[in-house]
Amino acid sequence: MEVLYIKKKKRRRVKKSVLLVVALVLLATLILTLVLTYFGGSVGTARYGAVEASQRVKAVVVRSETVVSGGEFEVAERFLSEGQQVSAGERVMDVYKLGYSREITMSLWRTRQDIYKAQLEVLGEARDVELRNYDNEVEALRHGLSGAVLSGNTQRVLKMKDELTSLLADRSEYLRSTVQETETLRALYKLQQERETAVSDARLSLIAEKSGIVSYFFDDYSIALSADKLSTVTAELLDRIVKNTEKSLKWPRTANTGAYRIVDGGEWYLLFNTPSSQGMRVVPGEAYPIKLTGYGEFQGVAHSSFVSGGSVVNILKVNSAVGALLNARVVSAEIDYSFEGIRVEKRAVQFENGEPFVELMMDGKRTGVYVNVFAEDGGSAIVSAKNTSSAHLEEGVKYWIPKKRVFKK
């Protein structure tokens, strides 16, 4: 039997050194690609153009206002209604210290009535013209006070009660000067003095130091947020307010920090955050149309914008009647960023520590220039140089456009 032997071909093994070379070549190619992608780019020419853009944000309302403190109190009498205009020197409210009881005031009224009865007993039937005039005025005021109580006009009630108290005191002093003092009257006069002192010690009358609109509503930020404290605002604070605060301020049952606010009715501010990676932000001095959901349309002028953490704080000043925004804190706003000017490709706007800049081609070199970004859309941005003395960003100027990067910074 013939045996057939088949000769097998030996496999050639690829040397590891060859694989290593191939891998290094591929790696070098990848690195070169990434380097070219990272450092590559093109040159663009600045042109005059327009960009229309808008942005919806949650914004914080800050008013030009003063918080007036009444110390710690539980009982308050308000002589002006919410939202009423007040003049400097006008009495706004009386507050009474913690622990004060209205029974003290009622006891004082009863003592005054007892004094009047005791004085009439001494006086007898004699009534001169002056006393009769006092009696008629007291009766008229009491009748008017009853009407005010029935109508629910609290401020009118307080004012008429003040007038009645003053009139009763005048009548009592008149009778005291004309009626012979008895042991009963002497004791009542002493008791009246003690109770008047108790009321006076517990009461603090708050007088307006300037004109404005009165509001008795507060929130946790009423003292920290006002027009004169804008420099202390941070992006973190605005985020916290937007996330944790109701849309309007509340009327506290008790107070230990503020009794009321006096608000400038014709000036307020709108504050909101934008990402620091977004070039578009408000530019100081520029005007921006604003739409506030539920409140209407306004015109704001940019007060300032600055980097804060990973965001930019934008501040718009509005010189319009505060109206329904008297007690608003968080609102939904649409800001219009439609501008004309020098237009560059959006990719040309780069960032350093949150500040936008554009690299201009000057003498064959790339020179970075910080810019204001007035508006931007998907492909273009309207910009101006912040420092025109170092470089002129105008129509026809060449600028650098970085290529899109594979990986973000």
Residue 267 lies in a domain: yes
Residue owning tokens 């690299």: 359
Which residues, including other chains, have CB under 8 Å from residue 131's CB and lie 6 or more apart? 171, 174, 175
**What is the distance between the alpha carbons of residues 368 and 294, in angstroms, rounded to a whole number?**
43
Q: Is 306 part of any domain?
A: yes
pTM: 0.77
The whole-number pLDDT of residue 33 equals 47
Residue 171 counted as domain residue: yes
CA-CA distance, 406 to 409, in Å (whole number)?
Answer: 10
Cα–Cα distance between 350 and 342 in angstroms, integer?
16
Sequence-distant (6+) residues with CB within 8 A of 200 are none
Domain shared by 255 and 307, yes or no: yes
| Confidence at residue 216, expressed as pLDDT on a 0 to 100 scale | 93
For the chain, how many structural domains are there in total? 3
Chain centre distance of CA 276: 22
Residues 223 and 330 in one domain: yes
The reply to whether 301 falls in a domain is: yes
Question: Both 235 and 144 in a single domain?
Answer: no
> In the 3-class helix/strand/coil scheme, how is 332-348 assigned residue by residue?
EEEEECCEEEEEEEHHH
pLDDT number for residue 128: 82
Task: Evaluate whether residue 31 is within a structural domain.
Answer: no
pLDDT at 99 (0 to 100): 81
Q: Residue 389: which CATH number? A: 2.40.420.20
Q: Around Cβ 250, how many Cβ atoms within 10 Å? A: 12
Report the pLDDT value the prediction gives residue 319, as an integer from 0 to 100: 97
Same domain, 360 and 391: yes
Q: Are residues 283 and 386 located together in one domain of the fold?
A: no
Give the pLDDT confidence score for residue 49 in this predicted structure: 96
At 157 the three-state DSSP class reads helix
Q: What is the pLDDT of residue 31?
A: 53
For residue 346, what pLDDT is reported?
96
In a domain, 105, yes or no: yes
Asked whether residue 28 is domain-assigned, the answer is no
Co-location of 131 and 192 in the same domain = yes
Same domain, 186 and 250: no
The answer on 301 and 276 residing in a single domain is: yes
In a domain, 249, yes or no: yes
Domain boundary among 288, 313, 340: 340
What string of pLDDT tens digits covers the 409 residues of the chain?
Answer: 444 444 444 445 545 565 665 566 566 555 544 444 445 689 999 999 999 999 999 999 999 999 998 888 878 889 999 999 999 999 999 998 888 888 888 899 899 999 989 988 888 877 788 888 888 888 888 888 888 777 777 778 878 888 888 888 888 888 888 888 999 999 999 999 999 999 999 999 999 999 999 999 998 898 889 999 999 999 999 999 999 866 677 766 556 668 999 999 999 999 999 999 999 999 999 999 999 999 999 999 999 999 999 999 999 999 999 999 999 999 999 999 999 999 999 999 999 999 999 999 988 899 999 999 999 998 999 999 998 776 789 999 999 999 865 444 4
One domain, residues 325 and 378? no
Structural domain that includes position 311: 55-68+214-340
**Do 331 and 367 fall within a single domain?**
no
What is the structure's pLDDT at 257?
64
Indicate whether 378 and 363 sit together in one domain.
yes
Point out the domain boundary residue: 320, 340, 360.
Answer: 340
Q: What is the pLDDT of residue 377?
A: 93
Whether residues 366 and 390 share a domain: the answer is yes
Q: Going along 320-377, which residue ranges are E strands?
A: 330-336, 339-345, 350-352, 355-362, 365-376
Last residue of one domain, picked from the residues 167, 184, 207:
207
